[in-house]
Amino acid sequence: MATHKQKQYSVLTMNTVAFAFNFAVWTMFSIIGIKIKQELGLSDTQFGILVATPILTGSITRLPLGILTDRYGGRIVFSVQMILVACATYGLAFANQYWQYLLAGLFVGLAGGSFAIGIAYTSAWFEKEKQGTAMGIFGAGNAGAAITNLVAPMIVVAAGWQMVPKVYSIAMLIMAIVFWFFTFNDPKQVERAKSGTHIPLKQQLAPLKELRVWRFGLYYYFVFGGFVALALWLPKYYVGEYGLDLKTASFITMIFTLPSGVIRALGGYLSDKVGARKVNWWVFWFSIAALFFLSYPQTSMTIKGIDGDMNFDIGLSMWFFTALVFIVGIAQGIGKASVYRIIHDYYPDNMGSVGGMVGVIGGLGGFTLPIIFGLLSDYTNIRSSCFMLLFGLVGVCMLWMNYAIVQQKKESELL
């Protein structure tokens, strides 16, 4: 008979691994989408829509999946979700027209909803002082994007892109089976089942009326939505900006995706120790500084000198660019954990609904940002315009956060 502590860590381990598998599936269009783009002759905007389509479903399903998890428990909801994702992913291999890829992508996108299940299921097992660390460790499953950057290109080279969804679907099905046998119903869910009492839906959704929830959602739109968007966009960016082949571009993108996923655990720990708001503030400062330089496009300048023209080329080398992207990824990884630690501070009994809603907003960032990246690239003809957009977004986050802090201080002084 497993002890409570053994059950805690078994659930946390399975949650994290299952989330990593789901995240790998959710972001696979970042690799196979480039091959599809070449086959169909898609524009940047069409490519942006293609890679963002799975993100849409993964976003809008987070709230209902979070509510279902609060009601029925993460074990059953997560297991069923993975089986459905495995079926949808296998079907993707048989698409051959643009609309078919978009339709299949919508169903594959259910993989992204796994976050709302896992975050509520993880939160239910751990005491308050360990919430940030536990949720941070679970969130490290974001490193599933790095799995795709590593594994998918090798499968594409060896057997063609159609083999990627086939392999992923089999792996997901195996994961669902393993998950079921190594997890347990959380204690609160067991108590609710015995008593026959459940939190009313109206009560679960009540906090969503508060403006604070939407502010947290904007933070997550940048730290998570921005991360997903860049994970999808960077392989193509490296190919276009620096002339790399797909395999090399995917491997270098891992410098962004892997650390950003893994360091989320540290973000949770820091949030427990020094405070989530302070951590969030530094996340934004580091991000805006790096994005300032990333936003500057490759530029050729001619200065009319006394003895003739002087020509200068101003731009980022590939490795300096990668270093700056690495900084943004690290900041976003830490920020993903600190945002959810803040949510638990304010809404410990509504992690499914509030965490799900914030996850929806963040996921919608992963959906809308690649499309906007494509539109900006097509209509401005400036590849670094995607970073200009992110620079403006984090600036808005900082202004709103500062305003909220000032208002809170004024309220506390009145009391």
Give per-residue pLDDT as tens, 221-268. 999 899 888 988 898 889 888 888 878 888 888 888 888 877 877 887
Determine the Cα–Cα distance for residues 372 and 379; give it in Å rounded to an integer: 10
Q: Say whether pLDDT at 415 is over 60.
A: no
> C-alpha angle 80/86/87, rounded to 5°?
95
Q: Say whether pLDDT at 269 is over 70.
A: yes
CATH assignment of the domain containing 322: 1.20.1250.20
- Residue 196 lies inside a defined structural domain of this protein: no
Helix count and strand count (H, E) for the chain? 20, 2
Predicted local distance difference test score (pLDDT) of residue 293: 93
Residue 272's pLDDT band, with cuts at 50, 70 and 90, is confident
Query: Tokens in use for 87?
Result: 């079926």
Q: Say whether pLDDT at 184 is over 70.
A: yes
Predicted local distance difference test score (pLDDT) of residue 413: 59
Q: Say whether pLDDT at 213 is over 80.
A: yes
- Residue 353 lies inside a defined structural domain of this protein: yes
415: DSSP letter: -
Residues forming a β-bridge with 308: 305
Q: How many CB atoms lie within 10 A of CB 322?
A: 18
If one compares 305 and 169, the residue with the highest pLDDT of the two is 169
- Asked if 52 and 232 touch (Cβ cutoff 8 Å), the reply is yes
- Residue 305 lies inside a defined structural domain of this protein: no
Q: Say whether pLDDT at 403 is over 80.
A: yes
Predicted local distance difference test score (pLDDT) of residue 322: 92
> C-alpha angle 279/386/397, rounded to 5°?
30
pTM attached to this predicted model: 0.75
Predicted local distance difference test score (pLDDT) of residue 85: 94
Per cent of the chain over pLDDT 70 is: 92
Tell me which of 106-110, 137-141, 279-283 is least confident.
137-141
Largest CA distance in the chain: 89
Residue 397's pLDDT band, with cuts at 50, 70 and 90, is very high
Q: Say whether pLDDT at 194 is over 90.
A: no
Determine the Cα–Cα distance for residues 406 and 398; give it in Å rounded to an integer: 12
* Structural domain containing residue 58: 4-191+201-298+313-414
Domain count across the chain? 1
SS3 34: helix
How far is C-alpha 124 from the geometric centre of its chain's CA atoms? Answer: 22
Residue 87's pLDDT band, with cuts at 50, 70 and 90, is very high
Q: How many residues does the chain have?
A: 415
- Residue 307 lies inside a defined structural domain of this protein: no
- Residue 303 lies inside a defined structural domain of this protein: no
- Residue 239 lies inside a defined structural domain of this protein: yes
Give per-residue pLDDT as tens, 318-357. 899 999 999 999 999 899 888 888 887 777 766 667 777 7
Predicted local distance difference test score (pLDDT) of residue 197: 63
Per cent of the chain over pLDDT 90 is: 24
Average per-residue pLDDT in the chain?
Answer: 84
Predicted local distance difference test score (pLDDT) of residue 166: 93
Give per-residue pLDDT as tens, 347-378. 776 666 777 778 788 878 888 898 898 888 88
- Residue 308 lies inside a defined structural domain of this protein: no
The label of the residue with tokens 């940047």 reads 44
- Residue 14 lies inside a defined structural domain of this protein: yes
Query: Tokens in use for 95?
Result: 């698409």
Predicted local distance difference test score (pLDDT) of residue 352: 66
Predicted local distance difference test score (pLDDT) of residue 204: 63
Buried/exposed code over 177-189 (b: 16+ C-beta within 10 A; e: otherwise): eebbeebbbbeeb
If one compares 267 and 281, the residue with the highest pLDDT of the two is 281
